[in-house]
């Protein structure tokens, strides 16, 4: 494991819809460092420097111990020297440099420098230079962390501190025996009379940490995983949404795409969904709305390809009475209906240029005017847009505004076509089969292996929607208990891919066929047998590769 693996976004989990942030199973708050500094000042003034120092040591020890138990579970044992400094950095206390480590496993001897310590900085800022080291929270954290990590009584001591005028803080960590006469005083700082007290504290904290981990893992119905809490939470949400939406996904890449959608749902930024027709854009848009903070507000959809320019304009922006022939009363547009909800602009690539300019203004200023009115109405929907067109190409062709494109594409989700996620075809076919047979009250239990082979190889230009229609067609036509090849729509069963794609040929196909023909002296029957394909397929392939005499 290296430093990059410990990226902050993997460890910190933001859940704004619950008003919570988690860090290694523990809830976190973002407080300014000056709040931290002022608490310390107040504490020091109230109880004196000695007691304030102890309070910080103990708080740090608690936290460090917990973080160590969690990190151990996540990163494996003895990742400590790499993980602990990174955690201190992630939490923003200081930049840690481990200077030396004793190799003897029965001892603990670590020297480390802390640069840019927030405790030192705040002390100097609020109370000026100090005569003694002040970074007590970090000493406590290091002591607790190392003790849990090594299962050994360990204490850190600051020997040089930036609050005393040094450039940085220097610390030494030692096992109990190494501290000699100082040990009793160190234990006292943490409220320990003897090693028995230390052990009792450890046992209690380990139980507590284990319970927390268990509780969190149960929440995400996942266990023993090395994945981060954030990943687990998002994946759990994605799975639930897929289940509820009866969406079928078998490919990890597709799951990742849906995870992205769940992540971006919580932001307020526009999302552009790209994908061929029938790839599930509507499902994705619903998913984003349902996972967003606006889920209780309206999700308003409009298909930009389905209306003329003037109708689309009045649909989007509304109109006043008498604005045009047929406008018999004032009517609010979809922008107003979506007000604090989500506005989904389907087939955005088909929107006329004139309307694109108005849409851009509405998005940028959050203001619209109804057709026939000068009154400005404030609106703030979240924008989701979808298209099966190549918007870049439309921009080049002068049919789509680049500035609108930049507004909409702050986050783009590309849905793959069904032919790129064929693993989902069998479960999808089975799901549709169940849906259709129960609707038609017809008993067709399965798809025959040969028919399934056809479904697996057909290129599916209409994607999931086309597959659903194909199953519907087959159920209507089927006379037996299962769907056979002859029950499938003509374009699917007659698709040349169906036969050809099952062959162990593809790369260098032409060469293989030519060689086999040569080996068999041009005997096509023998060649077809050798290649394990039918005569008609061989003939078609020969024709396609220009191998016909």
- Binders in 230-269 for Zn ion, by CB under 5 A: none
- Minimum CB separation of residue 56 from Zn ion in Å reads 12
Question: Which H or E element spans position 157?
Answer: strand 154-160
- Minimum CB separation of residue 136 from Zn ion in Å reads 9
- Minimum CB separation of residue 89 from Zn ion in Å reads 15
Nearer to Zn ion by C-beta: 50 or 364? 50
C-alpha to C-alpha distance for 337 and 381, rounded to whole angstroms = 9
The residue count for the chain: 549
Nearer to Zn ion by C-beta: 117 or 260? 117
- Minimum CB separation of residue 169 from Zn ion in Å reads 3
CB 516 within 8 A of CB 508: no
Question: Which H or E element spans position 222?
Answer: none
Q: Smallest Cα–Cα separation from 163: which of 63, 49, 82?
A: 49
End-to-end CA distance of the chain: 61
Secondary structure percentages of the chain, helix, strand, coil, to 5: 55, 15, 30
Nearer to Zn ion by C-beta: 67 or 122? 122
- Binders in 274-333 for Zn ion, by CB under 5 A: none
Nearer to Zn ion by C-beta: 117 or 286? 117
C-alpha to C-alpha distance for 15 and 120, rounded to whole angstroms = 31
C-alpha to C-alpha distance for 80 and 495, rounded to whole angstroms = 59
Q: Smallest Cα–Cα separation from 115: which of 174, 160, 80, 81?
A: 160
- Minimum CB separation of residue 293 from Zn ion in Å reads 41
Nearer to Zn ion by C-beta: 164 or 337? 164
Nearer to Zn ion by C-beta: 135 or 287? 135
- Minimum CB separation of residue 285 from Zn ion in Å reads 52
- Binders in 105-144 for Zn ion, by CB under 5 A: 117, 120, 135
- Minimum CB separation of residue 94 from Zn ion in Å reads 8
- Binders in 426-445 for Zn ion, by CB under 5 A: none
For 25-81, give the DSSP string: TEEE----HHHHHHHHHHHHHHH-HHHHHHHHHHHHHHHHHHHHHHHHHHH-TT-HH
88 touches Zn ion (CB under 5 A): no
The stretch near Zn ion (CB under 5 A) out of 32-40, 70-78, 159-167, 337-345 is: 159-167
- Binders in 160-219 for Zn ion, by CB under 5 A: 161, 169
State the residues that interact with Zn ion by CB under 5 A. Answer: 117, 120, 135, 161, 169
């Amino acid at each position: 494991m290296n430093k990059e693996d410990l990226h902050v976004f993997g460890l910190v989990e933001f859940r704004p819809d619950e008003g919570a942030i988690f860090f290694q199973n523990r809830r976190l708050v973002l407080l300014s460092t000056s709040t931290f500094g002022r608490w310390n000042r107040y504490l020091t003034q109230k109880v004196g420097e000695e007691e304030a120092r102890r309070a910080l040591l103990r708080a740090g020890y608690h936290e460090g111990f917990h973080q160590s138990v969690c990190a151990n579970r996540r990163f494996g044992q003895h990742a400590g020297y790499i993980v602990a400094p990174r955690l201190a950095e992630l939490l923003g206390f200081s930049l840690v440099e481990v200077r030396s480590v004793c190799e003897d496993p029965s001892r603990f001897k670590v020297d480390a420098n802390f640069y840019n310590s927030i405790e030192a900085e705040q002390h100097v800022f609020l109370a000026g230079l100090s005569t003694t080291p002040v970074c007590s929270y970090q000493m406590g954290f290091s002591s607790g962390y190392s003790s849990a990590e090594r299962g050994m009584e360990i204490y850190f001591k600051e020997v040089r501190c930036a609050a005393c005028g040094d450039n940085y803080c220097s610390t030494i960590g030692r096992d109990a025996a190494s501290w000699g006469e100082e040990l009793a005083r160190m234990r006292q700082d943490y409220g320990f009379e003897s090693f028995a007290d230390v052990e009792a504290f450890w046992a209690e904290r380990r139980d507590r940490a284990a319970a927390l981990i268990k509780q969190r893992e149960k929440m995400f119905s996942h266990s023993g995983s090395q994945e981060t809490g954030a990943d687990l939470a998002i994946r759990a949400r994605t799975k639930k949404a897929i289940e509820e939406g009866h969406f079928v996904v078998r490919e990890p890449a597709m799951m990742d795409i849906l995870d992205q959608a769940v992540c971006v749902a919580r932001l307020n930024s526009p999302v552009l969904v790209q994908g061929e027709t029938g790839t599930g854009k509507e499902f994705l848009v619903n998913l984003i709305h349902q996972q967003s903070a606006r889920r209780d507000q309206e999700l308003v959809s409009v298909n930009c390809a389905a209306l003329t320019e003037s109708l689309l304009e009045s649909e989007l922006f509304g109109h006043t009475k008498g604005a045009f022939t047929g406008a018999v009363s004032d009517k609010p547009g979809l922008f107003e209906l979506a007000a604090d909800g989500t506005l989904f602009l389907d087939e955005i690539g088909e929107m006329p240029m004139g309307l694109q300019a108005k849409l851009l203004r509405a998005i940028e200023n959050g203001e619209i005017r109804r057709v026939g009115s000068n009154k400005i109405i404030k609106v703030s929907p979240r924008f989701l847009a979808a298209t099966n067109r190549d918007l870049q190409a439309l921009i080049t062709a002068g049919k789509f505004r680049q500035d609108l494109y930049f507004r909409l594409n702050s986050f783009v989700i590309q849905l793959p076509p069904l032919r790129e996620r064929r693993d989902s075809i069998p479960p999808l076919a089975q799901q549709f089969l169940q849906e259709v047979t129960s609707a038609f009250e017809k008993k067709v239990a399965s798809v025959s292996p040969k028919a399934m082979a056809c479904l697996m190889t057909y290129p599916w230009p209409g994607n999931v929607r086309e597959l659903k229609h194909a199953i519907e067609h087959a159920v209507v036509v089927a006379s037996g208990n299962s769907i056979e090849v002859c029950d499938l729509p003509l374009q699917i069963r007659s698709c040349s891919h169906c036969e050809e794609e099952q062959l162990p040929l593809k790369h260098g196909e032409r060469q293989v066929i030519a060689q086999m023909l040569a080996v068999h002296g041009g005997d096509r029957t023998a060649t077809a047998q050798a290649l394990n394909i039918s005569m008609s397929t061989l003939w078609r392939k020969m024709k396609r590769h220009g191998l016909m005499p």
